A and B are shown apart, each in its own frame.
Chain A
């Protein structure tokens, strides 16, 4: 159990590191929402306690590291984790394509929250950025579902 918790912390730390990874200009738009994907994975794979709190702290760390308004990613990560936790049983008992669609829906909610709340606080997200993040995140989820056992 302790190792699972530790593993989830490592996963979040890795996702945060990847999120602040400097990318070339051409690839910047296609940077996947690493934290969102990691949180979905955590909810599906792990049975960690205080998921919402962990997600909020991870989101806050993301805000600190990426320079976005404090609380933006924390709120989005909380929403995502809440949704994923509620959908977890459905996801795990669904066929893979349905599981993928549900994961995409939670990721879309995360990205929409970031875009909407960020727009309210002076950091609006662009539609191409939203779509490209959703696509790259979806690809990441697809790869994770295909090659990693949930």
Chain B
């Protein structure tokens, strides 16, 4: 019996505690319910809720302040990251625009060349052919340029090639849709020239050098040749029309004990960067005529 009571004791104690707890719960719930009813009926107690609001406002304000600070900090870093991204994008854009500007400079130069060629074409009053230099072998010792027009468009062997600055060379090979121009600086090329200042005539040979210089050899020592003299085509031989600019005398050399002087000429045309050229079809050049003496034959 004693043992039985000992076993039951915790259960009865728990039950008692449970009923006390249930009683407490019931009382509190009833009190709360009563409070709810009273509050819904009595306006004075509703005002108590207003007092509670007064307690809530500082808490919420503090939280808002913290959240605002957090948001501001977050915004600062977000803006910073955004600015960095924008900066990077702008740099890339600037770089692209720089490249475009460089291309524009190239286009402008090409445009000026074309305008000059057009002016030249109009001035000569003939139906010349405009051509574009195709990508060439970067070997500077090769003094030939492939052009974008060939015999189908009217190019022929021996046809003078000029750019906006002066004589470039002549057609050495004419294919169907392209042609190959021999530059005046080629070692196998010669062009009759005249000193613009004195009218003295000579023949300018290509040197085949990488600097594209021309050479005026075997000139008599009494010839009035000076540095800076401008050379133009003389028209002799009938290949190149007269008056086309060929180059400028860069240096005169008179080896002691020799009866001749020789002069080096810097070509007027940009032979290192041939871009747009004009193939002359003037009366002087003739059409489809055979290469004349004085002009270099292709080797």
Contact = CB atoms under 8 A, between A and B. Distances in A.
A17 interface: yes
A94 interface: no
Interface stretch (B54-62, B184-192, B256-264): B54-62
A70 B56 contact: no
A70 B48 contact: yes
16 contacts: A20-B60, A21-B60, A22-B60, A22-B63, A64-B51, A65-B56, A67-B56, A69-B36, A70-B48, A71-B33, A71-B35, A71-B36, A72-B36, A74-B32, A86-B18, A122-B40
A82 B21 contact: yes
Contacts of B67: 22
Interface of B: 18, 21-22, 24-25, 28-29, 31-36, 39-40, 45, 48-49, 51-53, 55-56, 59-60, 63-64, 67
B28 A56 contact: yes
Contacts of B59: 17, 20, 65
A64 B55 contact: yes
Nearest to B17: A85
Which DSSP category, helix, strand, loop or mixed, fits chain B's interface? Answer: helix
A52 B24 contact: yes
Tell which of A59, A75, A117 has the most Cβ of chain B within 10 Å. A75
Given A64-B51, A78-B29, A70 B21 contact: no
Contact of B49 (A53, A70, A74, A85): A70
Contact of A121 (B31, B34, B40): B40
Contacts of B48: 64, 70
Contacts of A20: 56, 59-60, 63
A98 interface: no
Contacts of A64: 48-49, 51-52, 55-56
Contacts, number: 84
B36 A70 contact: yes
Interface in A69-98: 69-72, 74-75, 78-79, 81-82, 85-86
Interface of A: 17, 20-22, 52-53, 56, 59, 63-67, 69-72, 74-75, 78-79, 81-82, 85-86, 117, 121-122
Tell which of B28, B48, B60, B63 has the most Cβ of chain A within 10 Å. B28
B21 A65 contact: no
A67 B39 CA distance: 12
A59 B25 CA distance: 13
A76 to B, nearest CB: 9
A59 B29 CA distance: 11
A105 B120 CA distance: 99
A85 B34 CA distance: 24
Contacts of B63: 17, 20-22
A131 B24 CA distance: 30
Contacts of A65: 52, 55-56, 59
Contacts of A75: 28-29, 32-33, 36
Contacts of B32: 56, 59, 71-72, 74-75, 78
Contacts of B56: 20, 64-67
A67 B227 CA distance: 103
